[in-house]
Structure 1
């Protein structure tokens, strides 16, 4: 889901450039990996690189097709009218978490990182009843907009198109987590040649501006 806006824009550009039609289906990463492993026919897949590495090792990608796509940093969101917490350093972030009535997080890499931070700070049990996990494919920003989470943690790109919220800022550098997303040709691809062409477009320099526009950096 974090890459859906970038992929939509880049696939349109690829279609205009080549005439090849591209249909992108954006779902939660957990579901996407399950569907690839179940043998569904996809030409390409774009997921966090640790998941892609395992899919590659298990034979679900065409050998040698996996390539870095984009790097995504984490951010914190609050309601549009809420006061923005101090996120200038690790101590202030921890204080903001302890002060929050509810904390939204995802099933993806950003959620894993947040839970790791809570354990490292020794406050996992203290805030456990305030944690609100978004369902796969549901942006954490939606929980914040609905008032179900006072603070939301996810990839910056996930917050940019959600009405009713404000991005309080990125995580402080000392606790920031940057996720590398990768793309690859699926072993089940029905149009492997077209998939390779699309991946070359997605990883080319002309795709860099789109990635930055939606809160990511080129891989």
Structure 2
């Protein structure tokens, strides 16, 4: 017996490509799905460019729950099963500071722009779906050039949290669900006029030999239990 389940021929290990912005969801969802299904999940977390690279590398995987930007890359999309993808979750982008630090005004577009220009430094993940959205916001505000020297690029969400929590960088700009964590105080979401939700979409691999088990995972994401986990992690289901 393993985890209350007998190992049977139907018990499989699924390799899943996963966007790092949903890591908090998976921390709870992975053990619950494994306990419920008897299957095991091998999660490959990465940013959008690295997920595209992994999907097109030829290495096998069974499904992806990834930023929709991944699915918009033709080469990556070809590695997934044809047909519509399933929208799993979405989250807005926000601002956070080190716990206890003063919270700047981001309530209007003009106040947000002023705060960004006054900040000594900001941390984000430029090479990610969230980073691409933030870059579009900078462009809309007309501050792309000014923000280049302030932006301290990080390789992933965990590093954004850590470098701002340590006080090394003043502002964290990332998905609000990721920023809601010990060590940071969330200032709030981007102003509505500038907000861009990052959507996470799911699809089976075109080459999976474990379609039944992989489909069970996607069904679990849409089940009441899966939806509750997504909501509790600060994301909006579907």
List 4+ stretches of structure 1 deviating above 6 A: none
Corresponding position: 1:134 with 2:154? yes
How far apart, CA to CA, are the structure 1 residues paired with 2:117 and 2:235? 28
Note if contact 2:124-2:131 (Cα within 8 Å) is conserved in structure 1. yes
Which residue number corresponds to residue 114 of structure 2? 95
Moved more, 133-142 or 166-175: 133-142
| Displacement of 1:63 | 2.0
For 1:92, what is the secondary structure of its paired residue? helix
Worse overlay, 133-142 or 11-20: 133-142
Write the distance in 1 (CA, Å) between the matches of 2:167 and 2:130: 20
Which structure 2 segments of 5+ residues have no match?
A: 1-19
Partner of 2:177: 157
Taking structure 1 as the reference length, the TM-score comes to 0.90
- Could you tell me whether the CA contact under 8 Å between 2:47 and 2:129 is conserved in 1? no
SS at match of 2:60: coil
Structure 2 matches for 1:59-78, cutoff 5 A? 59-64=78-83, 66-78=85-97
Q: Secondary structure at the match of 2:59?
A: coil
Matching residue of 2:49: 30
Matches within 5 A, 1:202-217: 202-217=221-236
User: What count of residue pairs does the alignment treat as equivalent?
Assistant: 218
Which of 141, 147, 156 is the aligned partner of 1:121?
Answer: 141
Sort the Cα spacing of 1:140 and 1:195 in 2 relative to 1 into closer, same or farther, 3 A.
Answer: same
Unaligned runs of 5+ in 1: none
Aligned alpha-carbon RMSD (Å) = 2.0
Q: Which residue of 1 aligns with 2:39?
A: 20
1:146 and 2:166 correspond: yes
Cα separation, 2, equivalents of 1:50 and 1:147: 31
Give the C-alpha shift of residue 48 in structure 1.
0.9
Cα deviation, residue 184, structure 1: 1.1
User: Is the 8 Å Cα contact of residues 48 and 69 (structure 2) preserved in structure 1?
Assistant: no
1:186-205 pair list within 5 angstroms: 186-205=205-224
Q: Deviations over 1:99-156 (max 9, x none)?
A: 1000112121221222222222222222321111112465422221233321111011
Q: Does 1:181 align with 2:200?
A: yes
SS of the equivalent of 1:190 reads coil
Cα shift at 1:58: 4.2
Higher RCO structure (Cα 8 Å, ≥6 apart): 1
Larger Rg computed on CA atoms: 2
**Are the structure 2 counterparts of residues 50 and 127 from structure 1 closer, same or farther at C-alpha, using a change threshold of 3 Å?**
closer
